Amino acid sequence: MLSVCVALTIPSLGGCAARIPKGALAMRPQTLEFRQRSTRRFITSDESRILAASAGLLQDLGFTIDGSESDVGLIVASKDRPAVEGGQVAAKIAFAVLFRANIPIDRNQKLRVSVVTRPVGNEVAVRVTFQRIVWNDRGQISLLEQLDDPEMYQEFFDKLSKAVFLEAHKI
């Protein structure tokens, strides 16, 4: 019995020493591709115009601006939205009916974005990165992830191009 106790205690104390995954802060072979996907260049020397257009676009998309530092070309924004998915709800009902089990499903999410601009010659490079935190219906974090779907970036930059155009024409 005592050995069982000790066996239970040791992992719970040792659990604190979790190591970070190898390569968490290292460049990967896919870094370049990711950089290209998440960056667009605009032919202008007016960095603040691109930043203003980005802020306008983020507001169009329902984000609230959490912070900005225009001297280094940064806007940080987030939005809280539901994360309920039909498939999970169906699974929850099926488990409840078949096994009388209450399985947790995703309920809320916080979507975060940072937009960073940088003058490159007579162009301004804009780089955007997205991530999200998902909570389940028990209030626990169920997912922490970077959003790297190429279509999301494509759509964001298509909209940014329009926003830059609108900004240029003071609309």
Chain residues binding other proteins by CB under 8 A are 1-2, 4-6, 8-9, 12-13, 16-21, 23-27, 31, 34-35, 38, 66-67, 69, 71-74, 76, 112-114, 116, 118, 127, 129-133, 143-146
Min dist. Cβ of residue 37 to other proteins (A): 12
Min dist. Cβ of residue 153 to other proteins (A): 12
Residues forming a β-bridge with 80:
110
Min dist. Cβ of residue 82 to other proteins (A): 19
Measured from the Cβ of residue 89, the count of other Cβ atoms closer than 10 Å reads: 12
Residue with Cβ nearer other proteins (92 or 118): 118
The whole-angstrom separation of Cα 142 and Cα 134 is 6
The pair of three-digit structure tokens given for residue 109, joined into one six-digit string: 């999410």
Residues in contact with 119: Cβ distance below 8 Å, sequence separation at least 6, in sequence order: 45, 47, 125
The owner of tokens 């999410």 is 109
The pair of three-digit structure tokens given for residue 147, joined into one six-digit string: 């959003």
Residue with Cβ nearer other proteins (83 or 113): 113
Min dist. Cβ of residue 60 to other proteins (A): 19
Residue with Cβ nearer other proteins (41 or 162): 41
DSSP 21: P
